[in-house]
Amino acid sequence: MAEYPGLGEVSGKRVLVRSDLNVPLDGEVGAKVITDDGRIRASVPTISALAAAGARVVVTAHLGRPKGAPDPAYSLAPVAARLGELLGSPVAFATDTVGASAQQVVSALADGEVALLENVRFNAGETSKDEAERGAFADELAALADAFVSDGFGVVHRKQASVYDVAQRLPHAMGGLVAAEIDVLRRLTVTPERPYVVVLGGSKVSDKLGVIDNLLEKADKLLIGGGMVFTFLAAQGHGVGQSLLEEDQIGTCRDYLERAAASGVQILLPTDIVVADSFGDEASARVVPADAIPETTLGLDIGPESGAAFAAALGDAATVFWNGPMGVFEVAAFAEGTRAVADALTRVRGLSVVGGGDSAAAVRSLGFDEAAFGHISTGGGASLEYLEGKELPGITVLEGN
């Protein structure tokens, strides 16, 4: 097969692929080590499918947040080497993104070969808010290729040259990774199978307002844990001691509780809380009722009774979306609530989706097998924006021609 879905014949063509290769690195410049190659692995299927179809594959990606100019600390060179290992054939590396090196590397590609361009964010045009500056850079990127494949799910919520503008300049298609993510997110928002349970936690209610707002009436049950619990408890009139509290959101939380009651959506709040005398203080950890948090303590996890109740509420779910740890899972004494929810998710028979960077990290650090979950989203920000009902520019642009 020499075709790529949505692009048709690609054999002999130069195909620019926007991937998400933004991996964590450790060590000195020149001897950097990739500490988690998950995003590179996730990018391989699209790249190898294009190469197998005979395309000359030109991969573009960013790493970290350089300031629009070359910075060796953010070079993609170590990523090119690892990508080559995973593909099983060497990846040519261009030491610039659209300059002499890129042009030379791309023109030297044979059918089925792969090149990686240096960090796209070494160019001020990539992230510029000025349409003309971004467009001029997109012109240079587009000149390197005959077609474009958008496969960096972690960046599709960004209106950036290599994500958005370049798609307006070349025949384009959605890569397999982005297509799979969008398919899952549609199943969470368009016609979710019921019962549909949404579990929300994490630190702040204000980070998740858009998601709560958009999913409140779609879900059958909403389970709330993490730091945002205390603003809900305060909205019910309870004292929360020294716990994380967003006073300015108490009214919003009261409104959510009322809307849920009116529309028949069940909101489950924890009935017991693990508190401590100071942040992360394991020695003083103890369980108290959620409506009797001592004034001098702060809540750092949902209690065991709540963990069991949340697991039971997930028992018959056909669709689950979980974002945000139930407690300060980084500290063992406050990780059990998150563990109880993660464990219940592995037993869900329908679609179980984990979204959010810290939630995905929690699942891994607590030792769960990622394969036990239906889907772990690779793009925290992009999936949350989609679930807020926002338009993702990098997706919308692919729908036009």
**Which residues are marked as active site?**
39, 204, 357, 381
Query: Which C-beta is closer to Mg ion: that of 97 or that of 359?
Result: 359
Dihedral sign computed on CA atoms, order 245, 247, 252, 253:
positive
Q: Does 171 bind Mg ion (CB under 5 A)?
A: no
SS3 (DSSP) at 279 = coil
CA–CA separation, 126 and 65 (whole Å): 12
| Residue corresponding to tokens 């889907």 | 375
Task: Please list the residues that pair with 112 across neighbouring strands.
Answer: none
Residue among 356, 374, 379, 393 that touches ligand ADP (CB under 6 A): 356
Q: Which of 330, 346, 372, 381 binds ligand ADP (CB under 6 A)?
A: 330
The per-residue DSSP string of 161-197 comes to TTTTGGGGTS-EEE-HHHHHHHHHHHHHHSS--SSEE
196 or 329, CB closer to ligand ADP? 329
Choices 36-44, 81-89, 126-134, 354-362 (CB under 6 A): range interacting with ligand ADP: 354-362
Site for ligand ADP in 370-389 (CB under 6 A): 380
323 binds, among Mg ion, ligand ADP, none (CB under 5 to 8 A by kind): ligand ADP
Shortest distance (Å) from residue 355 CB to ligand ADP: 7
Among 48, 168, 203, 266, the residue binding ligand ADP under the rule CB under 6 A is 203
Q: Under rule CB under 6 A, which residues in 278-317 are in contact with ligand ADP?
A: 299-300
133 binds ligand ADP (CB under 6 A): no
357 sits near Mg ion (criterion: CB under 5 A): yes
Q: Closest separation between CB of residue 357 and ligand ADP, Å?
A: 4
Site for ligand ADP in 235-274 (CB under 6 A): 244
Total residues binding ligand ADP (CB under 6 A): 20
Stretch that binds ligand ADP, among 69-77, 160-168, 185-193, 199-207 (CB under 6 A): 199-207
- Among positions 209-228, residues that touch ligand ADP (CB under 6 A) are 226-227
Is residue 381 involved in binding Mg ion (CB under 5 A)?
no
Smallest separation, CB 345 to ligand ADP (Å): 13
Rounded CA separation 74/362 (Å): 26
Distance CA 95, CA 65 (A): 18
Note whether 385 binds Mg ion by CB under 5 A. no
Neighbours of 239 (CB within 10 A): 14
State the minimum distance, in angstroms, from the CB of residue 396 to Mg ion.
Answer: 25
Tokens linked to 60: 């573009």
DSSP string, 43-81: HHHHHHHHHHTT-EEEEE---S---SS--GGG-SHHHHH
- Residue 298, CA distances (Å) to 41, 229, 245, 290 in order: 40, 12, 10, 11
Question: Residue 324 binds which one of Mg ion, ligand ADP, none, with CB within 5 to 8 A depending on kind?
Answer: ligand ADP
Q: Is 62 in contact with 161 (CB distance < 8 Å)?
A: no
Among 358, 376, 378, 398, interactor with ligand ADP by CB under 6 A: 358
Question: What's phi and psi for 332, nearest 5 deg?
Answer: -50, -40
Given the complex with ligand ADP, which of 141 and 224 has the nearer CB atom?
224
Stretch that binds Mg ion, among 23-31, 139-147, 293-301, 358-366 (CB under 5 A): 358-366
How deeply is 61 buried, as exposed, middle or buried, from its count of CB atoms within 10 A (0-12, 13-18, 19+)? buried
Does residue 358 belong to the site contacting Mg ion (CB under 5 A)? yes
Strand ordering across the sheet containing 114-117: 91-94, 114-117, 56-60, 14-18, 147-150, 172-174
Whose Cβ is closer to Mg ion: residue 20's or residue 113's?
Answer: 20
Residue 342 tokens, joined: 């993660």
Give the ranges where 264-379 is alpha helix by DSSP (H). 304-314, 336-346, 357-365
Contact residues: ligand ADP, CB under 6 A: 201-203, 207, 226-227, 244, 299-300, 323-325, 327-328, 330, 356-359, 380
Binding residues for Mg ion (CB under 5 A): 357-358
